[in-house]
Amino acid sequence: MSIDLNTARETFEASVDFTVGLEEEFAVLDPETLALVPRFDELRDAAAADPVLAESIAGELIASEIEIRSGRGEDFHEAVARQRDRRRRLFALASSRGAALGATGTHPLSDYREQPIIDTEHYRRLDQDLRYVAWRNNTFSLHVHVGVHGADRAVRVCDRLRPVLPLLLAISANSPYLDEQDSGLHSARSQAFTRSFPRCGVPDSYGSWSAFAAYVDFLLRTRSVVEYTQLWWSIRPHVDFGTVEVRICDAQTTAGESESLAALIVACIAQATRDDDEGVPFEDPPGRLIEENLWRAIRYGRDGHLIDLGRVEAYPAAEAPGRLLEWSAPARAELALEPALPELNGAQRQRRMIDAGAEPAEVFAAAVRETRETYAQEVVA
């Protein structure tokens, strides 16, 4: 888990453009009450009977959370096919063990103070280093890895995508609840995680691998971190895989939303890579300007307004998907990516129910039904 920067650079120099890896996080639930239940260890041990599933699941901080990983796909379509198979296996396993799985950015009902942290060296360290910040983080998200050849190129792609991150968050917002109440936010997950963890949110712009490596070296020399996973930025060049990893998005309630959002992220990374290769001009905005859009995405999601930083004018956040689809059209055509995002995202659907007078338990139960009906398909032998 330590960081070897020389090896990391070599990993990027050997990386292949536009390979894809998907990671989806799910809440482990009691099927009757839909409360969080700490059964990760049980599910992990039971998964040992299925070699495909055993190598694809991972723990994520709390024992009432489980992650499923596609592994490397040579393109987006292969990654999705791999992920669908692994999801089916996971949902079948959970059902056979009397557990349910949920996919929203936060859990609206269960008390974070009652969720035990899983017993691994990494998470024991996290517990000791972060204390309340770690305990409070009962959140669930979607991560997308895309291969980018060349270390300098990967860093520049991350730089170009910094102003895109708030748009992706607004599109993906799916967590209005926190601490058993309506938070008034569209992505309470981002407030609880992105705003609390160190080295999180929108990173600085680095311009080159040497500048990025100097920053990581500073963190290592000062004992601020001992492993790369302690850099929780919403986008990062992943030193183990030679990928650009986007981590800004809430978990998606339906499989179709998750896949379409992942396709859009892959398209954005590929388009940023193409723009860098072609020398398309890029005005690197200060972090303070991107932060204004990040807050708007957290607070209002697709129901609010975002700022066109170039024009210095607001526009409806509902236009964010169209803007990203238009910009990424060349890359989408090359990679045969056709995201089909719904008219209303998860937070908007939940908030419509809230506004109609539904209780938190009703809203969450509807989301869990959507998750079960779209992710839990029959396992293909």
* Domains along the chain with CATH numbers: 5-375 (3.30.590.20)
Average pLDDT, the chain: 95
Q: By three-state DSSP, how is residue 195 classified? A: coil
Bin 91: left if φ > 0, else alpha if -120 < ψ < 50, else beta: alpha
Is the entire prediction scored with pTM above 0.75? yes
* pLDDT on residue 376: 84
Cα angle 340, 270, 231 (rounded to 5 degrees) comes to 100
Over residues 364-368, the mean pLDDT reads 97
Which of 16, 36, 2 minimizes the C-alpha distance to 364? 36
Amino acid at 19: T
Residue 191 confidence (pLDDT) above 60: yes
| 122: its two tokens | 């990494």
Residue 132 has pLDDT above 70, yes or no: yes
Lowest mean pLDDT among 28-32, 116-120, 161-165, 256-260: 116-120
Residues whose CB is less than 8 angstroms from the CB of residue 381 and which lie 6 or more positions away in sequence, other chains included: none
pLDDT in tens, 90-126: 999 999 999 999 999 999 999 999 999 998 888 998 8
E strand or H helix at 250: strand 243-250
CA 58 – CA 35 distance, rounded (Å): 21
Whole-angstrom Cα Rg for the chain: 20
251 vs 230: CA distance, rounded Å: 21
pLDDT tens by residue, 169-187 = 999 999 999 988 999 999 9
Phi first, then psi, for residue 335 (nearest 5°) are -100, 5
Residue 243 has pLDDT above 80, yes or no: yes
Closest to 58 in 3D by CA, of 103, 22, 82, 29? 22
What H or E segment, with its residue span, contains residue 66?
A: strand 62-69
Q: What is the DSSP letter of 280?
A: -
Cα–chain-centroid distance for residue 4? Answer: 25
Q: Residue 2 — very low, low, confident or very high, per pLDDT cuts 50/70/90? A: low
Amino acid in position 178: L
Q: Is 141 helix (H, G, I), strand (E, B) or coil?
A: strand
Whether residue 115 contacts residue 138, with contact meaning beta carbons closer than 8 Å, is answered with: yes
Q: Convert the pLDDT of each residue in 143-157 to its tens digit.
A: 999 999 999 999 999
How confident is the model at residue 32, as a pLDDT? 96
pLDDT at 380 (0 to 100): 42
Q: What tens digit of pLDDT does each residue of 321-349 get?
A: 999 999 999 999 999 999 999 999 999 99
Q: Show the tokens assigned to 259.
A: 């896949």
Give the β-pairing of 177-178 and 57-60. Answer: unpaired
